[in-house]
Amino acid sequence: MATPAIPIPSPAIGNTATAGSARVAYNPTPPVKPVAKKSVSCLSLFGGILAVLATAALLGAALLH
């Protein structure tokens, strides 16, 4: 005894909603993180002032002699 063939209904022409093969996934782009501003830290500012003062002291001592 053979199994009867069951016809598979095809979707209407131009009707892709019932086809199921053309699914579009909603994939939004992630939000852009704001770039952090580079700021001068207190330690580097203190080191810069110390370097300027040391240079001024050396130049002052060299000019006095």
Domains of the chain, residue spans: 41-65
d(CA 11, CA 1): 31
The string of DSSP codes covering 17-48 is: TTT-S------PPPPPPPPPPP---HHHHHHH
For the stretch 10-52, pLDDT in tens is 656 655 555 555 667 777 888 888 877 777 788 889 999 999 9
pLDDT at position 42: 84
d(CA 37, CA 2): 77
pTM: 0.40
- pLDDT band (50, 70, 90) for residue 54: very high
* C-beta separation of 24 from 17 below 8 A: no
Tally DSSP H helices, then E strands, for the chain. Answer: 1, 0
